[in-house]
């Protein structure tokens, strides 16, 4: 299962209002640069729940779904199994 991990995002907004995520800041302080924007569309997150504009980005060679839901941004983060 996955959950919605809300993140801080640096975005670039061009003169016609198009939004492009540039950097994603993880909660532990790490910063991930968006190498390329692959796709933008409205979508529901089937893995983590929630709905919004889905920005599919290439980050460090992997496709990452970044959602913008009413001004807040989240990624689908894998649930970490509880340690015994």
Partner 1 sequence: MRTILHSDLNNFYASVECVYDPSLRHRPMAVCGDPEARHGIVLAKNMLAKQAGVKTAEAIWQARQKCPDLVVVAPNHHRYLRFSRMIRQIYAEYTHKIEPFGMDEAWLDVSDHPMGGEAIANELRLRARQELGLTLSVGVSFNKVFAKLGSDMKKPDATTVISADNYRERVWPLPVGALLYVGPATRRKLAARNLRTIGDVARCAPETLRTALGKSGDMLWCYANGMDRSPVMELGESMPVKSVGNSMTTPEDMRSDPEARAVLLALSENVADRLRAKGLRGREVCLWVRDCELRSFTTQCRLRESTALASEIGRSAIQLFRCHYRWEKPIRSLGVSVSMLESEDSDVQLSIFGEADRVRRYELEGTLGEIRRRFGSTAIQRASILEGGYAATLGSVEACGTRFME
Give the integer Cα–Cα distance in Å for 10 and 77: 19
Count of positions (residues) in the chain: 84
Give the integer Cα–Cα distance in Å for 18 and 7: 20
Q: Is 21 among the residues that bind partner 1 (CB under 8 A)? A: no
Question: β-pairing, 36-44 with 2-13?
Answer: unpaired
Q: Which residue number, 2 or 11, has a Cβ lying nearer to partner 1?
A: 2
Q: Is 63 among the residues that bind partner 1 (CB under 8 A)? A: no
From the list 12-20, 25-33, 39-47, 55-63, the region that binds partner 1 by CB under 8 A is: 39-47
Q: Which residue in 28, 36, 46, 84 binds partner 1 (CB under 8 A)?
A: 46
């Amino acid at each position: 299962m996955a959950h919605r991990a809300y993140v801080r995002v640096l975005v670039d907004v061009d003169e016609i209002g198009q939004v492009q995520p540039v950097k994603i800041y993880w909660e532990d302080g790490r910063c991930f640069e968006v190498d390329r924007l692959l796709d933008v569309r409205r979508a529901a997150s089937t893995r983590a729940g929630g709905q919004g504009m889905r920005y599919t980005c290439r980050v460090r060679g992997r496709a990452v779904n970044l959602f913008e839901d009413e001004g807040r941004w989240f990624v689908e983060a894998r649930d970490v199994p509880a340690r015994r």
